[in-house]
Amino acid sequence: MVERLNLGRVGVAERRPDLATYRGFLGFQPMDIFAIGTDNALWHRWIDLGVECVRMHVKVLTNPTVSLATMISSMEQVYATAGIGVEVVSTENLNLPLLNDVDVGNCTLGSTTVEQDQLFANRNNVGANEIVVYFVRSTVPAFNGCASHPAGRPGAVVAQGATRWTLGHEVGHVLGLFHVDDNNRLMTGNGTANITNPPPDVVTSEVNTMRASNLTVGC
Amino acid sequence: MPVTMQQVRAQLDRDEPDYPAAARLGPEAFPHLRQFAQGDDPMLASKAVYLASLIGTEQSVAIVNEAAGKPNPIVRAAAAGALRNLDQAPNQLLNSLLNDQDVGVRKVALRSVEASRPSLPADVATNVRDMAVNDPNPHLRQLAGGVINRLSEE
């Protein structure tokens, strides 16, 4: 999240800080950030960003090549830096062979195809402020994922060949984020396969947008 | 100025490629697109096939035709999706994808035929009519029946 972390009276961090998070019975807890300072000592800062979560439902038509567990943990890793937990509320397998290669048109936010409408109709009682991610074999045309969704049915599709960061990237779109020209950031428009310094960053303005979304809710 | 492989790769690497913008690379991108389309990464291959179809020359048809014969159904589905940009695609290619062993590929091919053609060539119409009666997937039979009803036969 930051390249040089101010450690207060002592000095500045000389390397990228590490982040530790805790999960308790109340959900996501404040962040603990550790870094080595200019004095070679291990320094620690504690940041309370409040308790917010994305509640996500996973619907699998085809399992991705990068495992679901890896995609979800990668998303958790990035979202934790924004003080947002990722709660996988449910996982369901869907047998919908005609939507497994789903037509997403130009994948324009606010615009959906007939097939996207059909796919996103399979929310199966998911709450209005919860996100559904459909894992499909492919999209037509080929995208790693696509976050355009019908009104009132927030969600995204992720294709089998997506990267470990695509899930977090697409949900980022659903939360209101747009592409940036920076391969250090989750929302890079140059391809999450090209992220140069994992985990990718979310900057303050993006954190504010994510936390202001009605899709980030109390954990 | 010649189009480099890096320029093409930069377009295909995007999670959500801007295909219309990428198509402006033009026919000079074809050698690189062909290489990606024949490569081992089905995601890159699929993106390359679709982009090739948007550039719209005889080489587009050749790349899509090669993709239609790939063992990976993801690449064949991309070829089927690319058909919607190729109104000059030979009927043999349409029929090959309409008869694919994979139900997803057949569905995408059917959608593309419907989206790209005002009417059906006779042999393609025969194929779609057969699909409407005999396809193993009942939903695809229904889709095919709808296409037959909506499109006239040449």
The answer, yes or no, to whether residue B19 has pLDDT greater than 80, is yes
* Long-range CB contacts (within 8 A, 24+) of B141-150: B143/A98, B143/B107, B143/B110, B143/B111, B144/B110, B147/B110, B147/B113, B147/B114, B147/B120, B148/B120, B150/B114
Same-domain status, A166 and A211? yes
Same-domain status, A25 and A82? no
Compute the distance between CA of residue A17 and CA of residue A42 in angstroms, rounded to an integer: 10
What CATH number has the domain bearing residue B144? 1.25.10.10
Residue numbers of the domain that contains A32: 1-48
What total of structural domains would you count in chain B?
A: 1
* The amino acid at B93: L
Mean pLDDT score, A196-205: 95
Per CB-CB distance under 8 Å, the chain A contacts of B49 are: 142
Same-domain status, A26 and A57? no
pLDDT digits (tens, 9 = 90+) for A42-89: 777 666 556 799 999 999 999 999 999 999 999 999 999 999 999 999
Same-domain status, A19 and A124? no
DSSP B18-77: -HHHHGGG-GGGHHHHHHHHTSS-HHHHHHHHHHHHHH-SHHHHHHHHHHHT-S-HHHHH
Considering only the beta carbons, identify the residue of A100, A141, A143 that sits closest to B104: A100
* Contact check, Cβ <8 Å, A137/B103: no
Q: Is residue B34 very low, low, confident or very high in pLDDT (cuts 50, 70, 90)?
A: very high
Residue numbers of the domain that contains B110: 5-153
Same-domain status, A98 and A198? yes
Q: Is any Cβ of chain B less than 8 angstroms from the Cβ of A170?
A: yes
What CATH number has the domain bearing residue A157? 3.40.390.10
* Contact check, Cβ <8 Å, A161/B73: no
What integer pLDDT is reported at residue A36 of this predicted model?
77
Give the number of A-B residue pairs with CB atoms closer than 8 Å: 90
* Contact check, Cβ <8 Å, A137/B108: no
* Contact check, Cβ <8 Å, B16/A107: yes
Mean pLDDT score, B24-45: 97
Same-domain status, A98 and A56? yes
Same-domain status, A104 and A186? yes
Compute the distance between CA of residue A98 and CA of residue A116 in angstroms, rounded to an integer: 11
* Long-range CB contacts (within 8 A, 24+) of A91-94: A91/A57, A91/A58, A91/A59, A91/A60, A92/A57, A92/A58, A92/A59, A92/A60, A92/A124, A93/A59, A93/A60, A93/A61, A94/A59, A94/A60, A94/A61, A94/A122, A94/A134
Q: Is residue A34 very low, low, confident or very high in pLDDT (cuts 50, 70, 90)?
A: confident
pLDDT digits (tens, 9 = 90+) for A119-151: 999 999 999 999 999 999 999 999 999 999 999
Angstrom distances, CA of residue B134 to CA of B91, B101, B108: 20, 13, 17
Helix (H, G, I), strand (E, B) or coil at A106: coil
Report residue A13 as tokens. 């961090």
What total of structural domains would you count in chain A?
A: 2
